[in-house]
Amino acid sequence: MHTREAEDLVRPLLWIGFDGKIPPPETVKLIHQGVSGVILFARNVGTRDETRTLIHELKSIARGTLLLSVDQEGGRVARLTDGFEVFPPLRELGSKGVDEVRAIGRRLGAQVRDAGFDIDLAPVVDVDSNPANPVIGERSFSRDPEQVGVLGAAMIEGLESELAACAKHFPGHGDTDKDSHYDLPRLPHALDRLRACELVPFKAAVTAGVSCVMTTHVVFDALDPGVAATMSAPAIALLRGEIGFQGVCVSDCLEMKAISAHFGCGNAAVRAIAAGVDALLVCHTTDAQHEVIESLAAAVVDGKIAPARVHEARGRLVALAERHGRMI
């Protein structure tokens, strides 16, 4: 396989981001060439009408279905604010009933869908088991894994009635004392502990029909010493096998320091796709986006990634687009 053919093959595995409210020419080119998704942040959006207009513009560039995603969790992680309902952090929902949380999920999903998105990268189903955690905290429903599982499943059912939901951050970012945006956290827990705590909400999320699961850039010694879960074949095998997830497995952003500073975006992308991840978030720079595409293409040409693995990932992305993607 030639390099250009390989680049065309792997490009749909990327979900990209950009700065500003106007997509730059290089972003437009990547969309036209076949990346399958775009993630928007507060830096990109304005009012509901402005957001819908931007999403329509982005989707009109694509030759196929382009999936638009956003982190709209509630609380401090809410990218859509101008004219949108303010939803509380999940911690405030931790004491509410299943029916109420499901109804809130449906209302949240309806607002995100109405703005033009296909995927809400929510909810967080990490268990807030470490009070020193700098990144999860009130983004989690509870410190009780069973409660997180029950309410996470209800939120997912509500969201999925409107658009695709995404359970994050697999296998669990709740017990770390470092933020993977800046550091590479490591958890020494035995697998039995993971099964009793971190994995409980993910099993509930999969049973509830979640469309996507996002991996975390955390090293789990019991699964793959020294290797972040995003790049770990044993971690993804756990998700596919024991947890039973068959939807789209998406990485957290590869430009986060846990990955970019320790492994490099291109190297991590190759290892993630080889391990079984289907979609790669590269949220900020076109340099990193091109590095990922070129690295993946070279790995296909060199035989480090089998074309069948890429086709498997693309098949899941096509199924997601057929279920949740739309033009507006």
Q: Decide if 108 contacts 158 (C-beta within 8 A).
A: yes
> pLDDT tens digits for 15-72?
999 999 999 999 999 999 999 999 999 999 999 999 999 999 999 999 999 999 999 9
The 10s digit of each residue's pLDDT in 43-52 is: 999 999 999 9
What band does 184 get if pLDDT is binned at 50, 70 and 90? confident
Domain 3-323, CATH number (from 3.30.830.10, 3.20.20.300, 3.40.50.2000, 2.60.40.10): 3.20.20.300
Residue 328 has a pLDDT of 62
Give the phi and the psi of residue 220 in degrees, each rounded to 5: -115, 110
Give catalytic residues, as residue numbers: 181, 252
Strands 77-78 and 72-74: antiparallel
State the pLDDT at residue 327. 76
Give burial (CB, 10 Å; 0-12/13-18/19+) of 322. Answer: exposed
Pairwise CA distance, residues 119 & 269, whole Å: 22
pLDDT, tens digit, for every residue of 222-264? 999 999 999 999 999 999 999 999 999 999 999 998 899 888 9
pLDDT value of position 271: 98
Q: Quick: pLDDT tens for 275-299.
A: 999 999 999 999 999 999 999 999 9
Distance CA 282, CA 276 (A): 17
Domain ranges of the chain: 3-323
